[in-house]
Structure 1
Amino acid sequence: MGAAARSLLSRAAHQLGTSADALISDVAQVLREQVPELWEDPDIARMTSENIAEHIAGALVGIEYGIEPDKIEPPEGSRRCPG
Protein backbone atom coordinates (compact mmCIF):
# COMPACT_ATOMS: atom_id res chain seq x y z
CA MET A 1 0.00 0.00 0.00
CA GLY A 2 1.29 3.44 -0.87
CA ALA A 3 2.06 6.23 1.59
CA ALA A 4 -0.97 8.26 0.50
CA ALA A 5 -3.33 5.34 1.13
CA ARG A 6 -1.71 4.63 4.52
CA SER A 7 -2.06 8.27 5.48
CA LEU A 8 -5.72 8.33 4.42
CA LEU A 9 -6.47 5.17 6.40
CA SER A 10 -4.63 6.52 9.42
CA ARG A 11 -6.61 9.76 9.38
CA ALA A 12 -9.90 7.90 8.88
CA ALA A 13 -9.16 5.54 11.78
CA HIS A 14 -8.21 8.49 13.98
CA GLN A 15 -11.48 10.26 13.15
CA LEU A 16 -13.47 7.09 13.83
CA GLY A 17 -11.57 6.70 17.08
CA THR A 18 -12.88 10.02 18.31
CA SER A 19 -16.39 8.61 18.03
CA ALA A 20 -15.56 4.99 18.86
CA ASP A 21 -18.29 4.86 21.52
CA ALA A 22 -20.93 5.59 18.88
CA LEU A 23 -19.42 2.99 16.52
CA ILE A 24 -19.36 0.40 19.33
CA SER A 25 -22.96 1.23 20.19
CA ASP A 26 -24.02 0.86 16.55
CA VAL A 27 -22.33 -2.53 16.21
CA ALA A 28 -23.87 -3.72 19.48
CA GLN A 29 -27.32 -2.57 18.33
CA VAL A 30 -27.03 -4.46 15.06
CA LEU A 31 -25.95 -7.58 16.93
CA ARG A 32 -28.87 -7.20 19.37
CA GLU A 33 -31.22 -7.17 16.40
CA GLN A 34 -29.49 -9.90 14.40
CA VAL A 35 -28.35 -12.22 17.21
CA PRO A 36 -30.61 -11.50 20.22
CA GLU A 37 -29.54 -14.66 22.04
CA LEU A 38 -26.19 -13.01 22.78
CA TRP A 39 -28.03 -10.79 25.27
CA GLU A 40 -30.18 -13.45 26.96
CA ASP A 41 -27.55 -14.48 29.51
CA PRO A 42 -26.05 -11.56 31.51
CA ASP A 43 -22.53 -13.05 31.50
CA ILE A 44 -22.55 -13.61 27.75
CA ALA A 45 -24.04 -10.14 27.20
CA ARG A 46 -21.23 -8.57 29.24
CA MET A 47 -18.57 -10.56 27.43
CA THR A 48 -20.10 -9.70 24.05
CA SER A 49 -20.14 -5.99 24.86
CA GLU A 50 -16.54 -6.09 26.07
CA ASN A 51 -15.40 -8.01 23.00
CA ILE A 52 -17.10 -5.58 20.63
CA ALA A 53 -15.37 -2.64 22.30
CA GLU A 54 -11.97 -4.36 22.44
CA HIS A 55 -12.04 -5.51 18.82
CA ILE A 56 -13.13 -2.13 17.49
CA ALA A 57 -10.52 -0.30 19.57
CA GLY A 58 -7.81 -2.73 18.48
CA ALA A 59 -8.75 -2.48 14.82
CA LEU A 60 -8.81 1.32 14.88
CA VAL A 61 -5.42 1.53 16.61
CA GLY A 62 -3.96 -0.97 14.17
CA ILE A 63 -5.24 0.96 11.17
CA GLU A 64 -4.26 4.35 12.58
CA TYR A 65 -0.68 3.28 13.28
CA GLY A 66 -0.25 1.01 10.27
CA ILE A 67 0.16 -2.18 12.26
CA GLU A 68 -0.20 -5.30 10.16
CA PRO A 69 -3.24 -7.34 11.25
CA ASP A 70 -1.16 -10.45 11.98
CA LYS A 71 0.94 -8.40 14.42
CA ILE A 72 -2.05 -7.36 16.55
CA GLU A 73 -2.75 -9.58 19.53
CA PRO A 74 -6.44 -10.46 19.81
CA PRO A 75 -8.20 -9.15 22.90
CA GLU A 76 -7.81 -11.44 25.91
CA GLY A 77 -11.48 -12.45 26.02
CA SER A 78 -11.47 -13.57 22.39
CA ARG A 79 -8.88 -16.26 23.04
CA ARG A 80 -11.28 -18.39 25.03
CA CYS A 81 -12.44 -21.39 23.09
CA PRO A 82 -15.79 -22.89 24.00
CA GLY A 83 -15.86 -26.57 24.92
Structure 2
Amino acid sequence: MPGKYQKPVCDCGEELVYINNQFKQTRRRVTKDGKISKNILGTHYNSTDDPEYLCCLECGKTYNYLYDDEYRIVRGGELL
Protein backbone atom coordinates (compact mmCIF):
# COMPACT_ATOMS: atom_id res chain seq x y z
CA MET A 1 0.00 0.00 0.00
CA PRO A 2 1.56 3.32 -1.03
CA GLY A 3 2.31 5.94 1.58
CA LYS A 4 0.42 9.17 2.04
CA TYR A 5 1.24 11.72 -0.65
CA GLN A 6 3.21 14.78 0.44
CA LYS A 7 3.09 17.90 -1.70
CA PRO A 8 6.49 19.04 -3.03
CA VAL A 9 8.19 21.60 -0.81
CA CYS A 10 11.22 23.86 -1.24
CA ASP A 11 14.36 23.63 0.87
CA CYS A 12 13.06 26.76 2.65
CA GLY A 13 9.89 24.86 3.68
CA GLU A 14 7.34 26.53 1.37
CA GLU A 15 5.09 24.52 -0.95
CA LEU A 16 6.18 24.55 -4.58
CA VAL A 17 3.93 25.61 -7.45
CA TYR A 18 3.87 24.13 -10.95
CA ILE A 19 4.99 26.51 -13.73
CA ASN A 20 4.18 25.95 -17.41
CA ASN A 21 5.90 28.44 -19.74
CA GLN A 22 4.26 27.38 -22.97
CA PHE A 23 2.48 29.99 -25.02
CA LYS A 24 0.23 29.80 -28.03
CA GLN A 25 0.91 31.64 -31.27
CA THR A 26 -2.18 32.35 -33.38
CA ARG A 27 -1.90 33.15 -37.08
CA ARG A 28 -4.48 35.41 -38.76
CA ARG A 29 -4.65 37.28 -42.05
CA VAL A 30 -4.88 41.04 -42.38
CA THR A 31 -8.13 41.87 -44.20
CA LYS A 32 -8.36 44.12 -47.28
CA ASP A 33 -9.52 46.96 -45.04
CA GLY A 34 -6.49 46.63 -42.76
CA LYS A 35 -8.15 44.78 -39.87
CA ILE A 36 -7.08 41.53 -38.26
CA SER A 37 -9.25 38.67 -39.50
CA LYS A 38 -11.43 36.81 -37.01
CA ASN A 39 -10.60 33.54 -38.80
CA ILE A 40 -7.63 31.67 -37.37
CA LEU A 41 -5.28 30.19 -39.98
CA GLY A 42 -3.47 28.06 -37.47
CA THR A 43 -1.97 27.87 -34.02
CA HIS A 44 1.48 26.90 -32.86
CA TYR A 45 2.67 26.19 -29.33
CA ASN A 46 6.12 27.48 -28.38
CA SER A 47 8.03 26.89 -25.18
CA THR A 48 11.09 28.24 -23.42
CA ASP A 49 14.23 26.30 -22.46
CA ASP A 50 12.57 25.03 -19.26
CA PRO A 51 8.89 24.93 -20.19
CA GLU A 52 7.72 23.11 -17.05
CA TYR A 53 9.14 23.12 -13.54
CA LEU A 54 8.35 23.64 -9.86
CA CYS A 55 9.00 27.03 -8.29
CA CYS A 56 9.06 28.46 -4.78
CA LEU A 57 7.18 31.75 -4.64
CA GLU A 58 8.94 32.63 -1.38
CA CYS A 59 12.65 32.29 -2.22
CA GLY A 60 12.59 31.80 -6.00
CA LYS A 61 14.33 28.40 -6.18
CA THR A 62 13.28 26.18 -9.08
CA TYR A 63 13.21 22.40 -9.32
CA ASN A 64 12.65 19.66 -11.86
CA TYR A 65 9.74 17.41 -11.13
CA LEU A 66 9.12 13.69 -11.47
CA TYR A 67 6.11 11.41 -11.15
CA ASP A 68 5.71 8.73 -8.50
CA ASP A 69 4.16 5.28 -9.10
CA GLU A 70 0.66 6.79 -8.95
CA TYR A 71 1.55 9.56 -11.45
CA ARG A 72 1.64 12.28 -8.79
CA ILE A 73 4.15 15.12 -8.98
CA VAL A 74 7.19 14.87 -6.70
CA ARG A 75 10.14 17.24 -6.45
CA GLY A 76 13.26 16.49 -8.45
CA GLY A 77 16.64 18.19 -8.38
CA GLU A 78 17.19 21.93 -8.14
CA LEU A 79 17.55 23.84 -11.42
CA LEU A 80 20.53 26.17 -11.62
Q: Same fold (TM over 0.5)?
A: no
Return the structure number with greater strand share. 2
Higher normalized contact order (CA 8 Å, seq sep 6+, divided by chain length): 1
TM-score, structure 1 normalization: 0.25
| Larger helix share, 1 or 2 | 1
